[in-house]
Amino acid sequence: MKKKWPPCALCDAVDAMTSERPYRPPLSWQQCRQEIVAGKAGQFDAVLVEAAEKLWPVWERTYSAARGVGTGFSARP
């Protein structure tokens, strides 16, 4: 998936890292961001990571709101 769909690979990685798993708790958004940046030009496309870094605050709020996580935003009306 990485070569054909870099944005999907990045989104999937963020979802996996920030989701609770039976074998580990979710990473914080800050920890996830550090992992994504560490994978720049390796696991993830460098240009895509740079774009994600610029949008990270908006992405975090939107994604957390969609999951119903308290961020000051609400996914419910």
Contact 62, 56 (CB under 8 A): no
Rounded to whole angstroms, how far apart are CA atoms 14 and 59?
Answer: 10
Task: Give the domain ranges of the chain.
Answer: 6-67
Contact between residue 73 and residue 61 where contact means Cβ atoms under 8 Å apart: yes
Mean pLDDT of 10-15: 87
pTM of the model: 0.70
Max Cα distance, the chain (Å): 41
User: For 26-63, how does the pLDDT look when each residue is reduced to its tens digit (9 = 90+)?
Assistant: 998 889 999 999 998 788 889 999 998 998 888 888 87
